[in-house]
Structure 1
Amino acid sequence: MKNSVRIVALQALLMAVVISLAMDSINAALINIRSQCSETISACATCNICGGQVNCYALAPNNGFQVIDVGPTWPGGVIWGYPGGSANPTDGNNAKPQADLVEMTIGADGEDYYEISTVNGYNLPLLIGPTTIAPPGQRQGLECGTAICSISNIDSFCQSPNYLTGPVGYGCYNVDGAGPVATPGTEQFANACPDANQVYTCPTGSNYEVVFCP
């Protein structure tokens, strides 16, 4: 009798593990990082709250891509890029302060949060949006919407007090950063990229794409 009870308990535990693994698999987010740029770029990704390890990938011109599986939770995720194919984490870290960023939190109480941030600056055109939407999500405004920040000529865009940086990011540095009020520096970015610095939400279990030079 005791053996039968043990067997039933083990079966129940095994079933719970299987269900948990299945739910994690269902809710895991896939992010397709893609480049439509005319030259090779490097795309980098890190999770600030998961240890901060930076992984970089060289993306070939005209639809080079890298798919990353960030699992059912990815708190403080960041994706950015820089010109050239070095795909070196040190280069990536040095480029980050010069770049516009995709910032994501996956799996926060059943919701994902994402935005394009120009608080640091801007270097490459960037898009973020869902490719598949988990129920009950729908594309409507900031719910499961697509954000884009695309500036055609960074040289003419980047005016004082902001300034152009050099290698490795080749960006326009936002001197005012995340100031609490509008300033000449932040207004340049706000006018050029009205989708930026707005937080979008979508149900956990959705998948996403990040596109450079969309």
Structure 2
Amino acid sequence: MKNSVRIVALQALLMALVISLAMDSINAASINIKNQCSETISACATCNNCGGRVNCFALAPHNGFQVIDVGPNWPGGVIWGYPGGSANPTDGNNAKPQADLAELTIGAGGQDYYDISNVNAYNLPLLINPTTIASPGKRQGLECGSPICSIGNIYSFCQSPNFLTGAVGYGCYNVGGPGPVATAGTEHFANACPDAYSYSKDDANHVYACPTGSNYEVVFCP
């Protein structure tokens, strides 16, 4: 009798594991990182809340891409890019404070949350777009929307108190961005990219959400 009970319990455990793995597979997200710029760039990705390892990929111009599978949970995910094809994590870490960021948290209570952040800087045009939308999501405003930030000429855009960074990211520092309130410098970013964060507490109308199980693309130079 005891052996029969153990077998039934083991079968129940295995079934629960199979169901759990199946649900994880259904809810797992993939992110297609695409380069539509006219030059080679390096795109980097990390997850701040799951180890912080940085992976970088050289993406050829005009639709070079890299698909990353992030599973059903990717807390504090960040994607950014910088010019050139070094795809070196050290260069990527140095470029990150000089770049605009695609920030994605996958699997937070059945929802994914994402935004574009210019809090630190801006260097490359950027788009986040849901490519498949899990039920019951729909494209409506901040629900499964597609934030974009595209500044034409960074040299004419980047005016004092903000300033150009040079290598490795070749961006424009947002001097007031890390602060809790808007400034003349952050307003310059806000006006150029109304879909994106311009300072650290700039939450209103900048956080997008889509049901977990959706897939996304992050596009440079959309």
Q: Same fold (TM over 0.5)?
A: yes
- Please tell me whether the aligned partners of residues 111 and 212 of structure 2 are also in contact (alpha carbons under 8 angstroms): yes
1:203 and 2:172 aligned: no
What is residue 75 of structure 2 aligned with on the other side? 75
Q: Distance in 1 between matches of 2:183 and 2:216?
A: 32
Q: Which amino acid aligns with 1:123?
A: N
| Cα distance in 2 between the residues matched to 1:48 and 1:2 | 47
- TM-superposition CA deviations, 1:9-43 (whole Å, max 9, x none): 22111111000000011111100000001110000
Corresponding residue number in structure 2 for 1:92: 92
SS in 2 for 1:49: coil
Equivalent AA in structure 1 for residue 75 of structure 2: P
The within-5 A match list for 1:94-113 is: 94-113=94-113
Residues 1:38 and 2:69 aligned together: no
For residues 69-104 of structure 1, what are the alpha-carbon distances to aligned partners after superposition, in whole Å with 9 as ceiling and x for unaligned?
111111111000000000000000000111000111
Match of 1:58 in 2: 58
SS class of match (2:85): coil
Q: Percent identity?
A: 85
Separation of aligned partners in 1, 2:165 and 2:178: 19
Separation in structure 1 between the aligned mates of residue 166 and residue 157 of structure 2, nearest angstrom: 16
Q: How does 1:1-214 map to 2 (within 5 A)?
A: 1-197=1-197, 198-214=206-222
> TM-score if structure 2 supplies the norm length?
0.94
Q: How many residues align?
A: 214
| Matches of 1:173 and 1:58, distance apart in 2 | 24
How far 1:135 moved relative to its partner?
A: 0.8
Work out the CA distance in 1 between the residues paired with 2:117 and 2:182. 15
Query: Where do 5+ consecutive residues of structure 1 fail to align?
Result: none
- 2:172 and 2:9 map into 1 onto residues whose CA distance is 61
Looking at structure 2, the residues matched to 202 and 84 of structure 1 have their Cα atoms a distance apart, in angstroms, of: 32
Aligned to 2:86, the other structure's residue is in SS state coil
SS at match of 1:116: strand
Shift of 1:2: 3.2
The C-alpha deviation readout for 1:41-64, integer Å capped at 9, x for no partner, is 000000111111110000000000
Question: Is residue 114–residue 209 contact of structure 2 (8 Å, CA) maintained in 1?
Answer: yes
Separation in 2, partners of 1:178, 1:144 = 27
Q: Distance in 2 between matches of 1:103 and 1:15?
A: 35
Structure 2, unmatched stretches of 5+, are 198-205
The code of the aligned residue for 2:220 comes to F
String of CA shifts for 1:162-181, please: whole Å, max 9, x gaps.
Answer: 01111110001111113232
The CA RMSD measured in Å over matched residues stands at 0.9
Q: Is the 8 A contact 2:176 2:182 kept in 1?
A: no
Q: Secondary structure at the match of 2:79?
A: strand
